[in-house]
């Protein structure tokens, strides 16, 4: 079991990675992890799961960045110089 209150520098070590549940949980909690297994199928399964998690995280982070950009753009108003001409020369 992973404790979310552990420091980010904590290392998770799983000697029998199996389907990769521990590694996936560690990855989602942004922890460093090492997983081992003698079964090649277990390593391949874990690899596929982790690739999906990394892709999902990338897409979520990208979406958050786009939302930040959208919020910044909403703060700007578009106007023409004709609208503010009297204000500039006043």
pLDDT tens-digit readout, 5-49: 666 667 888 899 899 999 888 888 888 888 889 999 988 999 999
Q: What is the pLDDT of residue 7?
A: 64
Distance separating alpha carbons of residues 33 and 35, to the nearest angstrom:
7
With beta carbons less than 8 A apart as the criterion, state whether 53 and 46 touch. Answer: no
With beta carbons less than 8 A apart as the criterion, state whether 29 and 9 touch. Answer: no
DSSP state of 58: H
How many Cα atoms within 13 Å fall on the side-chain side of residue 37? 18
Within 10 A of 10 (CB to CB), how many other CB atoms are there?
14
């Amino acid at each position: 079991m992973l404790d979310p209150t552990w420091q980010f520098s904590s290392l998770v070590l799983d000697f029998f990675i199996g389907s990769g549940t521990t590694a996936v949980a560690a990855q989602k909690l942004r922890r460093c992890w090492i997983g081992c297994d003698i079964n090649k199928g277990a390593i391949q399964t874990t690899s596929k799961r982790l690739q999906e998690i990394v892709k999902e995280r990338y897409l979520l982070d990208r979406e958050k960045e786009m939302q930040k950009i959208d919020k910044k753009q909403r703060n700007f108003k578009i106007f023409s110089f004709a609208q503010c001409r009297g204000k500039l020369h006043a």
